[in-house]
Chains A and B, each alone.
Chain A
Amino acid sequence: KQEVTQIPAALSVPEGENLVLNCSFTDSAIYNLQWFRQDPGKGLTSLLLIQSSQREQTSGRLNASLDKSSGRSTLYIAASQPGDSATYLCAVEGNNRLAFGKGNQVVVIP
């Protein structure tokens, strides 16, 4: 069974600092890896999707890398802003299902 881990569960950073969020997974036979953002009381918003054949994806200030062999992905958010405060979820698709981590709860301090 695929296990997805995100550490730390919560973190705070000053505005302007770069954010680095880590995700690890136990089974490297994945189809793709997705990063989502969840705001309180809301659903999930897809941020980036990395296919298993890719090494990274970029969208604006966001960059996600994937190392399948080591079972790791990293989400970088450059020059963090208070509006980046949210929970970030990593999800790995394989074996006909999406397995989610429990998330990194991020607070960006003005």
Chain B
Amino acid sequence: NAGVTQTPKFQVLKTGQSMTLQCAQDMNHNSMYWYRQDPGMGLRLIYYSASEGTTDKGEVPNGYNVSRLNKREFSLRLESAAPSQTSVYFCASSEDRDLGQPQHFGDGTRLSIL
């Protein structure tokens, strides 16, 4: 009963380093999302993928890239990490974006950039 699995759970990076956050879902959902959660800012959408093979920018895409590797997996890449990217990152999935189905969230990746 895994649902949405994110790896790693915690990571500390130095400014300028790169890394990829992994996300996989086992619910056969078409749509997947990446959010960041910051104190006082709420959750903000970084990128989303409405279906396999498509990706679109959300509210705060700068400094990030995404890859929808297949239907199950959606990764988020920081090419050159900056302290402003210190945050908790959540991946989510839903059956179909156009049907207004609830989103299912992973437990998050806590990322600190020094």
| Residues of A participating in the B interface, judged by any CB pair closer than 8 Å | 4, 31-32, 34, 36, 41-46, 49, 51, 89, 91, 93, 96-98, 100-103
Contact = CB atoms under 8 A, between A and B. Distances in A.
Interface in B1-47: 4, 33, 40-45
A23 to B, nearest CB: 12
B58 to A, nearest CB: 6
A109 to B, nearest CB: 24
A100 B43 contact: yes
Contact of A49 (B45, B90, B100, B106): B100
Q: Which of B4, B56, B97 has the most CB of A within 10 A?
A: B97
Given A46-B103, A51-B100, A98-B45, 11 more contacts: A32-B100, A36-B105, A41-B108, A42-B107, A42-B108, A43-B107, A43-B108, A49-B102, A98-B33, A101-B42, A103-B42
Contacts of A89: 42-43
Nearest to A46: B102
A43 B59 contact: no
Task: Report, as a range, how many residues of chain B touch the other chain.
Answer: 20 to 34
A36 B43 CA distance: 12
Question: Interface on chain A toward B: helix, strand, loop, or mixed SS?
Answer: strand
B104 interface: yes
A24 B92 CA distance: 24
Q: Which of A4, A31, A34, A100 has the most CB of B within 10 A?
A: A100
Interface of B: 4, 33, 40-45, 48, 56, 58-59, 90, 92, 97, 100-108
28 contacts: A4-B42, A32-B100, A34-B103, A41-B107, A41-B108, A43-B4, A43-B90, A43-B107, A43-B108, A44-B103, A44-B105, A49-B100, A49-B101, A49-B102, A51-B100, A89-B42, A89-B43, A91-B43, A93-B100, A96-B56, A96-B97, A97-B45, A97-B58, A97-B59, A100-B42, A100-B44, A102-B40, A102-B41
